[in-house]
Amino acid sequence: MKVEVVAYDSRWPLLFTEEAEKIKKILGEELVAIYHIGSTAVENLKAKPIIDMMPVVRDIAQVDQYNQEFIAIGYEPKGEFGITGRRYFRKGSEVRTHQIHIFAQSNTTEIERHLAVRDYLRTHPRDAFEYGELKSALAELHHDDIEAYCKGKDEFVKALEKKALAWYKESGNQQWA
């Protein structure tokens, strides 16, 4: 997969909303909430042009019954895909456009981690700028190697997550609960 990091695109929130409506129809009553997460959810942050979505559901075990409906709208179900308690779906094999990370509402650790980083970057533009510059430089260095790209930002992301979670808990921004 080609690694491409681009300038923020003001259409990303609309692309999220359009896709979120499709997901809401599939998950129905099982869905508690759906969030735009990841770098495309942060205004002015450079990002890979892939919309990350995080539906929160009542019971993660129920999600597997919707796999065929997700396939019908272009998603590939990947199961937990490295994160226990998650259901991951991706759209577009060569040119990925969307990723879905579904968690049960009881999985507060993963939900908070994703929302904390997003909200922290939204309110700390200097850190968002540094993160965007790092991603851009790594994409130039490793444009054909997603693993090297991810490895290159790993240390920064772990430190960012730690800082964001501390900020999130202190600020009382736990809006999803």
Residue-by-residue pLDDT tens, the chain, 177 positions: 789 999 999 999 999 999 999 999 999 999 999 999 999 999 999 999 999 999 999 999 999 999 999 999 999 999 999 999 999 999 997 789 999 999 999 999 999 999 999 999 999 999 999 999 999 999 999 999 999 999 999 999 999 999 999 999 888 766 654
Give whole-number Cα distances, 118 to 62, 112, 113, 122, 164, in Å: 27, 10, 9, 6, 8
Pairing of strands 31-37, 86-91: unpaired
For residue 83, the model assigns a pLDDT of 93
Rounded CA separation 87/115 (Å):
17
**Phi and psi of 143, rounded to 5°?**
-65, -15
For residue 173, the model assigns a pLDDT of 64
Where are any strands of DSSP class E within the chain? 31-37, 51-57, 75-77, 86-91, 98-104
For residue 171, the model assigns a pLDDT of 84
Predicted model pTM: 0.94
For residue 9, the model assigns a pLDDT of 98
Q: Which domains does the chain have, with CATH numbers?
A: 12-171 (3.30.460.10)
Residue 112 C-alpha from the chain's centroid: 12
Q: H-type helices in 10-99, by residue range?
A: 12-27, 67-72
For residue 94, the model assigns a pLDDT of 78
